[in-house]
Structure formats: structure tokens, C-alpha cells
Amino acid sequence: MHQLFSQVLGQKDLSRAGDLFSLEDAEIEDCLSQALDQIKAISCSPDYLTNDNDQAVVEICITRITTAIRETGSIERHSTALVGLWESCLEHNLTPQGESTEDTPHAKIASDITSCILQNYSCPSVMVLAVPVAVRFLQRGNRELSRNMSSYLSLAAIAKADLLAEHTEAITVSVLGGNHMLLRVLPSVYPQQPDTIHRHLGNLTAMMSQLESPEQQHLIRLIQMVAEQHPLMLSPQVSVLVSYLADQSLTEALLGALVDVSQASPSSLVSFLPALRMVGQQSPAFLGHVAKVHSAVGIISEAHAHGSLVYLVSLLGSMEHSFHHTLLLEIRALTDRYPSLLGGCGKDIYRMSNSFTAIARLLGRRLEEKTAAHCRSAPRTLTLPDRRDEIAQICGLSEQRLQLKIQAFEEKLKEAGEEEEEEEEEEVKEEESSVPQRRFSLSQAVREERREMRFNRSKSLALHAVRSRSINSDTGEDSEAVELGIDSAFSSALTDPNRENRQDASGQSGEKDVEEKQGEGDRLFVHLRDNMEAIREFCRDAAQQIPIPEQCVIEDSNRGCVAKLSFSCPLKGHYCLYAKSSFNLTSRQPHLWIHIMLLRLQSKSSVPLCTGDECVQRLASLWEKTQLKGAHSFSMAMTQNATPHRKDLDNLQIQLEEVRFFDLFGYSEEEGGWLCFMCNNPEKATVVNQEGQPLIEGKLKEKQVRWKFIKRWKTRYFTLAGNQLLFRRGKSKDELDDIPIELSKVQSVKVVARKRRDRGLPRAFEIFTDSKTYVLKAQDEKHAEEWLQCINVAVAQARERENREATTYL
């Protein structure tokens, strides 16, 4: 062992412990394992808990050893001794006693060693030794240690899941005990230990509502894996999973899992079909999943098949074309299984027409006939309702009058599509001449389907307009004005698929209703329209808590996409801190910022935005740059929730506080926006910018040694004025000046990282320049905050001054 290590550890000489840092790493690398064994002997001695000198020596030596191991890359060589010392801490108390929040001496040792060991999660030889010990720490009651272990074990699960698999039971119990961070480990170990997780599956699914959004996604991933590999294990949990469908952020993933369960255990979904139909009605994008569940349930019996067919056929005649193929496959699977449902003519129906809507009509008739024949002896019959009868009853119109309106509209459609019809007829003639025996060509079927879909969509608009006109007539409104609006709706539906602002100066309400009906197929438009009041209320409150960036750029980083945000002061007064420059922030939550920017845009608009708007397209392009495989599209993600969760806004505020944003900006009620410190406080700006007038002055302690654990401070008198932070050599302002800190050269100002065991650290902060780092400490937290704000303001002012001078020079 090195002579200095022998002296410090052998004699427990605290006065020489700091000298260990003067030695080169290579000089002591050979003796690190010996030193660790001696530290273990000292920490296990009976009087260690009460001997402050021994504790200080051990703490300094461990810091020096772990530093040397990291710098020399010798973790594998010394892992046995390091893990041995780490494991010995488990033999002692690790939980703070009574009301004290300070870590116990052995908890401090374990905490200092943890990162040195587990940062090497990609090194198998180290993890083989470390993982069993790390799992034991999870159950020792120290939350801070447990949190750190969980973070590193999550990384180990990515690199070497097999090392954690044998500890699945302990990890799952820790999750159920409240250590939700470890949820991300369970999907990694599930393929190796499915039975262990199956035993706890009920308790795991029941805790969904207690979790934060990121933790929910890990649990969802686990549920998806169970549904894919062992779907029967989820059948007892169907009622719980269905209850979570109301959360839009979970709906898509849970429906996918329920589809898998329905294939293996269709009877477990029978009683939940009404709830699933309601989900499909509220969110048409999920109707494909709902249809698959109905199809699976229909296989149980002919009675179940009939009920499922009625629902699926009703969708086939009303859904968008993109869903038709999926629906037809599910319908055909049921009719092939139970041919008697269609009187044995199912295949003939599919051959007779290439139009999905025509098939829907034929299937509907057959189902009606089947139901009527079955129920002929009963007092009631099941028939599909006629849409026109329903509208006539609601609107108080006679059948004859309604029919006239529809016929008039059909004529308008025929006139508008005359040219297209002529072209299609020519193509049909060519095809018929080439293949005379074939009743329908594929292209002809596609044209027929497109024509029928276009007619049905426009017809729906017409019927809705007729109903609106009748209601307005009953209430005494001018029916002619509404009629003009209806005509505009028809022509726009045919000729102008893009959303434009067509509401003229006369403010015709019918024009605006052109516009809303045009956006019905736009998921984002419908969502924003239905939540406009909630969005405005959210933006009114959030505007005073979270600023909206002036610019947002998405960039890749080693840890994923980040948003680079820029904030400036809109007032740009004479002493403005950000007239020519910007406050820059890098955030790892680009999705949240994009969502907030969209809501702000909507709150400023009197009409709902849609995906065709230029400002929305710009946000969508930012979103696409952040996309991961399998992630939601922009429209899907923006419509999951009306507004962000409170906890997400709190996280943004915390990040803004960490970068000292609120030192430099404040919300102005008068201006209705975020202004810089100087524009918000013009009276201070005038005083501060007087020559020689200090912004703040007083005593601060300066750290004399860069090592954090060596507490040597010197009190000095500091003055912040102009472009400099001046400080004296002594405590008095009359002392001689030392070399000042040029504020224009300051790179950043940060609070010193806080540790639970050192209550004095929140008062300390660091000033980073291009050549030196200063660690200063104020009298208390209040004074530290004052100094931090003033220094940040002065630094921003110095940078702004340089930018203005550069602009003037150019």
C-alpha cells in the first residue's frame, strides 16, 4: 500500500487525508483494493458510529479511491473489494432514526460507492457481483438509496436483462411497495420469468391510476407483452383494463391488448361490448380494435355472431373507407363460421358487388330478413331504422318535403360531377371492350365506391342542413339566410377541400357552419372545437406560470431529441436585457412544449385551428422531428388530452427555476406577457445603470479548495456594479481590491448541488468563467437568492451590452 494511504488509514490521520488528492492516479492504482479492505475494517469497528474523525477519514479516502478507479478504468480489477465494502454496509443500519433526515454513516458509504459500481452496468463481470447486492438494498428502507439503485438497475436491465431475471420476485415486490421507478425493469425480465410476474399481475394492473404518465407507459408495455405471449393470464383483469379506457393516453394500447385477450378468451369480453362500442363512438380512430373484439366474441355462438354482425354491418355503411377492408374481413369470418345467418348466400353477396356500401346494404337486408323470420311469432320485430323517417320526425317535416330537398341536392351533385362522369364513361367503354364477359372491373368498382362515398358524405351534409333549417324556422329565424348558407356548404364540400376563412363582413352564421362541417373529418379540428373553453381557461392560468418561447428548434442529442427554446423580452425598453439577445433553454420535453404552443395559438384564435393551418403545420413538422418508432402522430398526440397535466407544468417550472429563468423574467399583468427584469422594474434599471452604482454588495464566503468535502471558506466583501463583480481581500469594504470577475466572461451561474446530509449547501452557488470557477456562500438561503438574481441580471445585461455594441459596429 502507498505510504500516504498507510499513514492516513493506519493512524486515521485526518490532517493528511486531503494530501491524497495531490497523488497521481497511476501512483496509487495498485493499492486501491488493499485500501478498500482496510476501510471495510474501520467502518465495521464498534465505535465507528460515534467517531466523527474516523467517518471523515473514510469519506475522504473513498472519494479518492473511486476517483482513481474511474480515471484509470480499473473497475474490473478492484470490483471484488469495492463490492465487498458495499455489501458490508447491509450489515448495519441504513435508515435515519427519529426525526433526523441525515443519512447514517454506513448509508453515506453505500451512497458514495453506488455510482462508481453501477455506472459500469454494461460490464458483465462487475454486474455479476453487483446486481445481487443492489437488489438487497431495495428492501432496506432508505428511499434515497433505493431510488439510486432503481435508476441504475433500469439501465442494467437494458444492457443485461438476464442478470436481473433471477431477482424478478424482489423487484416486483419493491414495485408494489411504491418503488414505481422499477416498473421499467419488468418488461425486460418478463420473457425470462413470466410466471413470477403472472402471480402479481392483478396487483400490478390495479395500480395504474396511482402512477405518473411515464410509469404508466412501462406498465402498459408489460401488459402488451403479457397479452401477446400469454393472453389468458389477462382475462381476469379485463374489467380493470376496460375501466382505464377513459384515459385517452392509454386507450389505444389497452384496446390492442384487449383484442389479443378476446382471441384467446372471447367470453371474458362479452359483458363489456357496450362499453367498447361507446369508446368507438367517442373516438372513431379506435373502431378497428372494437370491430375485432366484436368479431372474436361472435365466434362463441350463432346468437353472439348475429349481435356482432348487426353492429359490424352498421359500421360498414357509415365508416371511412380506410376501415372497410378490416370490417369486411371480420364480417366474412363470422358469416363463414355461421352461414345460416345469411341464409347460405353470403358468398353470393360478396361476388355480386365490389362496393363496400352495397355489400353493407345487402347484408343489412339479409340480417333483417333473418331477424324478422325468427321473431315472426313475437309481438315485436327488429328492423333497421330509416334515416329519413328519423329526420322527418325530429324536424317536423313531411316526407314529401324532405324528399324534394334530397332530390334537389342529388341534381346539384350530378351537375357538379358531369365532367368526371364523362371521363369515367369513356374508361368504362374501353374496359368493357377489352373484357366483355366481366360484369365489374376493378377500376370500375373503385370509381363506383368513390362516387358513392362522395355522394353519401355530401348527402349527410344536406340532411344535417335541412334539419338545421327546419329548427331555425320553428324558432322564427330567417330561413332564406340559412338556405344560402346551405348552398354554400354544398358547393364548398364539392369544390374546396381546404379550410379557409370564408366568413365575410356580414358575419353569416351559415358560412361559419361551412367551415365546421368541412373540418369534421379533421381529428385535431374536432378536438380543438370541442375543448375551446377549457383551452382558453388553461391558457389564462398557465400564461402566468409558463412562458411561451419565441423560437423552438428540435435537435438530436446522445439522450434523444431536445427542444432548444429561445425567450426574449417583447417590450425591448431602453435598458432591456433581451432586446438584441435571447435567453436560451434546452429541454428534454419537446412534446410538452409543442403541445403548450399549440394551445396558446388556439387561445388566440376565435375559430378552431385545423391541420391545414400554416402555424399548425409548422408545429407538426417540429413534432415529426421528435418521433420515435411506434409513437403517436401529431394529430393523435395533440388530441389525447385537452390540456397538459398539472404535474407536467410543475416539471417545466422546476426546470425554469433550475436555469434561473425567473431571476431574469417576470410576468407583467399590465402587459399581459413575460418581461425581463429591467423592463419589469424600470425604477431599478435607472439606478443600476448610473455610473458606479452597485446592484448589490455585502459579505460572502469564498471556498478556498475545489474539493467539495474539504470545507475551507474565507469571508470577503463583494460589490456587484457595472460589468464587474468586485471583491476585497478581507471582510471590510475598505480592504484592497482583488482581481475582479468580468461579468461578460461568465458562462453560467448555478446553485451548488444539494445533498441531504449537508444542510448548508443550498446557500452556496458557483460562478463559471472561461478560466476559473468560484464557489461562494451567502449568510442564508434568502441572501443567496438575492445574490443569484442580481448576478444573473448583471450577466445578462453585460451580454446584451456586448450584442448592442456589436450590432452598432456592424
The residue behind cell 362463441 is 300
3-state secondary structure of 461: helix
Q: Answer whether residue 535 shows pLDDT above 90.
A: yes
For the segment 631-656, the average pLDDT, to the nearest whole number, is 87
3-state secondary structure of 386: coil
**What is the grid cell recorded at 293?**
373484439
- Residue 25: what are its φ and ψ, rounded to 5°? -60, -45
- Pick from 411, 410, 448: nearest CA to 427: 448
What are the pLDDT digits (tens) for 370-383?
555 544 444 433 33
3-state secondary structure of 161: helix
- Pick from 624, 539, 547, 617: nearest CA to 590: 624
pLDDT score of 231:
93
What are the pLDDT digits (tens) for 409-444?
445 444 444 544 454 455 444 444 433 333 333 334
What are the pLDDT digits (tens) for 711-738?
677 888 888 887 788 877 666 666 556 6
Rounded CA gap, 68 and 87, in Å?
21
What are the pLDDT digits (tens) for 139-175?
776 777 888 788 878 877 777 778 888 889 999 998 9
For the segment 187-200, the average pLDDT, to the nearest whole number, is 92
The more confidently predicted of residues 636 and 755 is: 636
For the segment 575-597, the average pLDDT, to the nearest whole number, is 90
The residue behind cell 454513516 is 105
Q: Answer whether residue 37 shows pLDDT above 90.
A: yes
How would you classify the pairing of strands 713-721 and 724-727? antiparallel
Helices H / strands E in the chain, number of each: 39, 12
**What is the grid cell recorded at 663?**
431571476
3-state secondary structure of 189: helix
Rounded CA gap, 640 and 440, in Å?
43
What b/e string do you get for 577-592 counting C-beta neighbours within 10 Å, with b at 16 or more? bbbbbebebebebbbb
If residue 425 lies in a helix (H) or strand (E), which one and from where to where?
A: helix 418-434
pLDDT score of 632:
74
What are the pLDDT digits (tens) for 42-90?
999 989 988 989 999 999 999 999 999 988 999 999 999 999 999 999 9
DSSP state of 343: T
Rounded CA gap, 328 and 360, in Å?
9
- β-sheet with 713-721: strand ranges across: 741-742, 724-727, 713-721, 694-703, 773-777, 764-769, 746-751
Percentage of the chain surpassing pLDDT 90? 26
What b/e string do you get for 138-162 counting C-beta neighbours within 10 Å, with b at 16 or more? bebebebbbebbbebbbebbeebbe
Q: Answer whether residue 39 shows pLDDT above 90.
A: yes
pLDDT score of 690:
61
What CATH number should be reported for the domain whose range is 690-807?
Answer: 2.30.29.30
The more confidently predicted of residues 450 and 245 is: 245
Tell me how many degrees the CA angle 483-520-445 measures, rounded to the nearest 5.
Answer: 95
Q: Residues 6 or more apart from 752 whose CB is under 8 A from it?
A: 708, 761, 762, 764, 765, 766, 775
Sign of CA dihedral 348, 352, 358, 362: negative
- The gap between the terminal CA atoms of the chain, to the nearest Å, is 64
Q: Answer whether residue 405 shows pLDDT above 50.
A: no
Asked if residue 548 lies in contact with residue 530, where contact means CB atoms within 8 angstroms, the answer is no
What are the pLDDT digits (tens) for 338-390?
887 765 545 544 444 444 555 556 666 656 555 555 444 444 333 333 433 43
* Residue-range domain boundaries for the chain: 521-677, 690-807
Rounded CA gap, 662 and 658, in Å?
9
pLDDT score of 528:
92
Q: Answer whether residue 691 shows pLDDT above 60.
A: no
The residue behind cell 384467446 is 264
DSSP state of 739: P
Output the pTM of the full model.
Answer: 0.48
Distance of CA 577 to the CA centre of its chain: 33
Asked if residue 639 lies in contact with residue 524, where contact means CB atoms within 8 angstroms, the answer is yes
Q: Which of 21-35, 311-325, 676-690 has the highest mean pLDDT?
A: 21-35
Rounded CA gap, 540 and 534, in Å?
10
Q: Which of 253-262, 476-485, 673-682 has the lowest mean pLDDT?
A: 476-485
Q: For the chain, what is the mean pLDDT?
A: 76
What are the pLDDT digits (tens) for 735-781?
556 678 888 888 888 777 554 444 444 578 888 887 788 888 888 88
- Pick from 544, 532, 504, 556: nearest CA to 604: 532
- Pick from 132, 137, 134, 32: nearest CA to 75: 32
The residue behind cell 405471449 is 229
